[in-house]
Amino acid sequence: MGLVYPPTCAGCGAATADAGAFCPACWSGLRLIEEPLCDRLGIAFAVDLGIGRLTSPQAFAQPPVFARARAVALYDDVARGLVHRLKYEDRHDLARPMARMMAGAGRDLIAQADCIVPVPLHRWRLWRRRFNQAALLARPLADGAGLPFLPHALIRQRATRSQVGLSRAGRAENLSGAFHVPPAEAHRLAGLRVLLVDDVRTTGATANAAARALLRGGAASVDLLTFALVGEPIG
């Protein structure tokens, strides 16, 4: 098959040596999030203070519902292109290489997780899109880690308007009560450490709402792993 369909860059489609790899231009354009990080929010610090685990002012000012978050890259240029191709161009083949990178960025979270749950879409949006991009990323993560994949443990019970253009407070209000653990699924989560998976984290409103529902549904704790993060390093 490789002779007929040569491997191409996951980012731009240029020829590469290995399937799912990145060409040098896309790899150098991917703004990876690396240590030192805020232990709660996974935001990179611009300067390494050399004093162990750090918590950002943002995490102190607005503590998230989830315990910890990690992401592969900042949502800029290459990362945005990957997410958009996966989400809007039906490039399901990108999910596996993106999940491999997420496994590296979230190795500590995965090592302590009991199960993996994708952030769900409302049934009408799922019907229109035909797939949930978070589930496409979560399944190979679960397979690779040997963890239970629980796509039905959390549902989006209320359709919400687009988050684009809303303030932080508006996003939180828009998502209030949107997620729910079905009673029939609660036993699967009871006392478990859940790794919640999504494609992008913006303000964290979606992750907070989903984590709150999981905790109310019986989960012991919730960590968050996304491919991309909107924001800049802490100066």
pLDDT recorded at residue 63: 94
| Closest-CA residue to 112 (of 33, 186, 188, 192) | 192
Placement of tokens 């924001």 in the chain: 231
DSSP characters over 31-47: -B--SSBBTTT-PBBSS
pLDDT recorded at residue 25: 84
Degrees to nearest 5, angle at CA 200 with 229 and 32:
40
Q: Sign of torsion, CA 88 94 99 105?
A: negative
Contact 154, 218 (CB under 8 A): no
Q: pLDDT tens digits, residue range 104-113?
A: 999 999 999 9
Q: How far apart are CA 201 and CA 226, in angstroms?
A: 7
Q: How far apart are CA 15 and CA 8, in angstroms?
A: 4
Q: What is the mean pLDDT of the chain?
A: 86
> What's the per-residue H, E or C state across 98-116?
HHHHHHHHCHHHHHCCCEE
| Closest-CA residue to 32 (of 2, 63, 75, 64) | 75
Per-residue pLDDT of the chain (235 residues; tens, 9 = 90+): 444 557 778 777 788 877 667 888 888 889 999 989 999 999 998 777 666 678 899 999 999 999 999 999 999 989 999 999 988 888 888 999 999 999 999 999 999 999 999 999 877 665 676 779 999 999 999 999 999 999 999 998 765 655 555 555 655 556 667 899 999 999 999 999 999 999 999 989 899 999 999 999 999 999 999 999 998 776 5
User: How many Cα atoms within 13 Å fall on the side-chain side of residue 171?
Assistant: 16
pLDDT recorded at residue 17: 76
| Closest-CA residue to 225 (of 205, 207, 203) | 207
Whether pTM > 0.75 for this model: the answer is yes
Q: Sign of torsion, CA 120 76 223 212?
A: negative
Q: Sign of torsion, CA 12 18 23 27?
A: positive
| Closest-CA residue to 225 (of 106, 135, 120, 129) | 106
Q: pLDDT tens digits, residue range 100-146?
A: 999 999 999 999 999 999 999 877 665 676 779 999 999 999 999 99
Helix axes 133-145, 78-88, angle to 10 degrees: 100
Amino acid found at 116: I
Sequence-distant (≥ 6) Cβ neighbours of residue 106 within 8 angstroms? 70, 141, 195, 223, 225
